Structure 1
């Protein structure tokens, strides 16, 4: 019976010494926002394609394996269905980034185009405050990035 308090003290000490993983060490999402450039040069304007392409979101594959983004979505906070970009057949290489521009253009391995046009209502990212969301094909939220400032033109999401 004399050893019971000692055993309980040792057990309590073991619980206290369990390592705690700091928040910074938590696993990164497989694909995360790097940056959202929401106030394109020259805006406000008439929504010319060059200005639409001046706003963009950049995503990074944080893993050591290529990820198929087919069916993944990128969107802003609005519930408008035309504010959703859905990736077609596209693979993002390990550690690589892809930039999704709002306007029209020819897709490459590093740049995708939302394909929007139609003047000032074609912009996706609000100039003062918004939130971007990345979801996998099953709709699971993978990452988000918010901003609330009209004093700068972009937000670093890391």
Structure 2
């Protein structure tokens, strides 16, 4: 006959065992909460690029330039200062870089950055480009947008490779 030792109920277990179990439970819960933030995606991200403004042909008018835009969303519950952040396309041209001035993107809010000229608001900013067809930023068939913080660290990017649509949801 095999004899089994009786396992004492929790109230009878030594204090040391209960302390170890409690410490293990805390360690597991801290590890679960301490997952990297990037696992859920960037806090501020590119959500859409409208790379082919409506109408044909693209005539370089301010209306046409403003039909081309990129949208950036703050996915957090806190406002984020975008001062010094940049948006650029895949070219290495210095005139294809937009640098945010003093601008705060509210919690859960989206800002639209339009290529042409206009009056900046809390929801729409303007790149300020003009000068006809050479003023467009986003190529109509293939390009990539990069969003970098004020330190130059890549926060998000979005690429497209299609002429079948006018925009890309990122």
TM category, shorter:
0.7 to 0.9
Contact 1:28–1:62 under 8 Å retained in 2: no
**Cα distance in 2 for residues equivalent to 1:44 and 1:33:** 27
Match of 1:75 in 2: 88
Matches within 5 A, 1:81-120: 81-120=94-133
User: May I ask how many residue pairs the two structures share in their alignment?
Assistant: 135
**Cα distance in 1 for residues equivalent to 2:57 and 2:43:** 34
**Cα distance in 2 for residues equivalent to 1:74 and 1:27:** 22
For structure 2, the residue ranges without an aligned partner over 5 or more in a row are 1-31, 33-37
Matches within 5 A, 1:7-46: 26-46=39-59
For structure 1, the residue ranges without an aligned partner over 5 or more in a row are 1-18, 20-24
- Helix, strand or coil for the counterpart of 2:40? coil
RMSD: 1.5
Shift of 1:95: 0.6
CA deviation string 1:33-72 (max 9, x = no partner): 1100000012433200000000000000011110000000
Match of 1:131 in 2: 144
CA deviation string 1:114-148 (max 9, x = no partner): 00000100000000000000000110000000000
Shift of 1:26: 1.4
Q: TM-score, normalised on structure 1?
A: 0.82
Matches within 5 A, 1:134-153: 134-153=147-166
Higher helix share: 2
- Helix, strand or coil for the counterpart of 2:125? strand
**Cα distance in 2 for residues equivalent to 1:148 and 1:45:** 19
Match of 1:58 in 2: 71
Contact 1:43–1:51 under 8 Å retained in 2: no
* Structure whose alpha-carbon radius of gyration is higher: 2
